[in-house]
Amino acid sequence: MADYQTVGSRIGARAAEIDAGLRAHMSKVYATMSTGMLITAAAAWAIAGLATTTDPSAAYTTAEGGIAAFREGQYLTGLGYAIYASPLRWVIMLAPLAVLFLGMGPVMRNSSAAGARVFFYGFATLIGLSLSSIFLVYTAFSITQTFLITAIAFAGLSLWGYTTKKDLSGWGTFLMMGLIGLIVAMIVNLVLGAFFGIASPALMFAISAIGVLIFAGLTAYDTQNIKSEYVAHAHHGDADWLEKSGVFGALSLYLNFLNMFQFLLMFMGQQE
């Protein structure tokens, strides 16, 4: 009888240890994600948010090819002007995608936890530079308002994903299929607008709404997945793997937040 009690006591102690470790792990995940968001906001603000103008109609001129070339001191800082008034803007716009799709695999396989964190923060900086264009399109009030709404929604969805007893693993395939369909629809609408001048506002509204729903679902799904991965691997005591896994979990949540924010901004944001 005493042996059973001893075994039960050890199992209970181990479960309590894993539970405490999980809470610490999730705290690190959210802290890493929040740091990434702050870096993104700072980078975007440094390009466009610091500049001011009293005449929005004078903030741009139409350049060759119909691309808006923004004047220094009007919506853009000097660095921002150097980027948006040159072909460098395309590098800034496409660099985050290149880094994400080409760099993420090697970093996950070969880097340490510290290396993975550097990769994440560098990626967050590139996203901030690319995201700076929202200050050229939307009012500061609508950007702030949409950010707060996104933050509240994200917190609720992530909390639900962490606490629910419902198994969300079956959502993964469905959400990824929805995401692929969403990307295809965005490309089609972009091509129709760029080459035929018939982009559909109704389709764009539908894309925005569906995008919000998809990334809302991914927020809950990824949160539960981060939790499940920790519990599954905590027994092995692989601290470095868990640390690196936490960084990429933070990256997943960061991307969900960012995309949900952008899709909400597309149909909630007030343009300049």
Is 8 domain-assigned?
no
For the segment 147-166, the average pLDDT, to the nearest whole number, is: 95
Please, what is the average pLDDT of the chain?
79
pLDDT tens track for 91-150? 777 777 787 777 777 877 778 888 889 999 999 998 998 888 787 778 888 888 999 999
For the segment 72-99, the average pLDDT, to the nearest whole number, is: 68
Is 131 domain-assigned?
yes
Residue 12's pLDDT band (cuts 50, 70, 90): low
More confident residue, 70 or 188: 188
The residue behind tokens 């000097």 is 78
Is 118 domain-assigned?
yes
3-class secondary structure for the chain? CHHHHHHHHHHHHHHHHHHHHHHHHHHHHHHHHHHHHHHHHHHHHHHHHCCCCCCHHHCEEECHHHCEEECECCCECHHHHHHHCCCHHHHHHHHHHHHHHHHHHHHHHHCCHHHHHHHHHHHHHHHHHHHCCHHHHECHHHHHHHHHHHHHHHHHHHHHHHHCCCCCCCHHHHHHHHHHHHHHHHHHHHHHHHHHCCCCHHHHHHHHHHHHHHHHHHHHHHHHHHHHHHHHHHCCCCHHHHHHHHHHHHHHHHHHHHHHHHHHHHHHCCEC
Instruction: Provide the percentage of residues in the chain whose pLDDT is more than 90.
Output: 36
More confident residue, 266 or 235: 266
Range of the domain at 150: 22-268
Q: How many CB atoms lie within 10 A of CB 222?
A: 26
pLDDT tens track for 15-35? 666 778 888 899 999 999 999
Residue 158's pLDDT band (cuts 50, 70, 90): very high
Is 2 domain-assigned?
no
User: For residue 70, is pLDDT > 90?
Assistant: no
Is 58 domain-assigned?
yes
The residue behind tokens 């200050």 is 135
Is 115 domain-assigned?
yes
More confident residue, 218 or 44: 218
Is 88 domain-assigned?
yes
Residue 272's pLDDT band (cuts 50, 70, 90): low
Domain count of the chain? 1
Residue 156's pLDDT band (cuts 50, 70, 90): very high
The pLDDT of residue 4 is: 47
Is 3 domain-assigned?
no
Distances (CA, A) of 87 to 81, 92, 98: 11, 9, 17
pTM of the model: 0.82
